[in-house]
Amino acid sequence: MPAKIIDGKAFAATVRGQVADHVTRLKDDHGITPGLAVVLVGEDPASQVYVRSKGKQTVEVGMKSVEHKLDASTSEADLLKVIDDLNNDPEIHGILVQLPLPKHLDEDLVINSIAPEKDVDGFHISNVGLLGTGQKSMVPCTPLGCLMMLRDHHGSLSGMDAVVIGRSNIVGKPMAQLLLGDSCTVTIAHSRTKDLPDVVRRADIVVAAVGRPEMVPGDWIKPGATVIDVGINRLDAPEKGEGKTRLVGDVDYDSCAAVAGAITPVPGGVGPMTIACLLANTVTACCRANDLPEPEGLTA
């Protein structure tokens, strides 16, 4: 039996609906409008697309959207001044600096200049530490989206064997912490893991976030396992015409879908959940800033 497709696009629409409902209640009951500020430095085409999409979806759920578009030559001091102003703006509850930054800017310094309570990307070192010790934090959007989909599909994750392929600070490490928080037994694997196929084969849950196109074949997957594919890679697609490309994940979809119990597609899986969780994090940050109950089901 082919795997159930976990429709991230549909699930993200549900999450955005929950966010919009909570935003309406914040406005009606408390006169508060959550605000999200996105800072874009330079003119990276992919980053521009992401920022436009984030701004559009922020407005659609009823939140305040602010964009700061800065030249690629912007100095570190000027960028930090923009962030400091946003840190001190009571109408802004979430701040996101779009990565990557131009090479002359120190990404760690910039990220850690964001007030931790407004760090809706969950990248600040304080939020990393809080997540790692099981305390209340801002949770990185992509791992949060993966966790939401896993909870929705399985209900309880307690006792399940999970393998995360990839050890990045943005996805792999926080994903492992979230799975541990839901009482999974967790292994972080990577390109240097010995007997990687055997490690992956024992997993009830496989989260592939290694950044290598179609790296994981179906014969690595335990029959019935759930596969969450975080990868977004472009490959040449001459069959579509000269210069055309196609999007693929970090798993070989067809062979994995033939074995797995459930799987996320690429595109249409994890990707849409990332922005939905950014919106959810902004509402969570707003509620925390105003000592109001957090929306249920929109955070870890």
State both tokens at 48.
């521009």
Cα distances (angstroms) measured from residue 110 to each of 132, 155, 174, 204: 21, 38, 20, 38
CA 183 from centre of chain: 21
Cβ pair 47, 271 in contact under 8 A: no
Asked if 135 is an active-site residue, the reply is no
- Between the CA of residue 280 and those of 61, 185, 300, what are the distances in Å? 10, 27, 11
Count of H-run helices and E-run strands, the chain: 10, 11
Reading phi first (left if > 0) and then psi (alpha if -120 to 50, else beta), residue 64 is in beta
User: What DSSP state is assigned to residue 116?
Assistant: G
Tokens of 161: 């064997």
98 as an active site residue: the answer is yes
CB-based contacts of 213, cutoff 8 Å, min separation 6: 231, 233, 235, 248, 249, 250
Catalytic option among 18, 57, 118, 121: 121
Single out the catalytic residue among 57, 98, 182, 252: 98
Catalytic residue among 54, 118, 173, 222: 54
Does residue 229 have an active-site annotation? no
Q: Which residues carry out catalysis?
A: 54, 98, 121
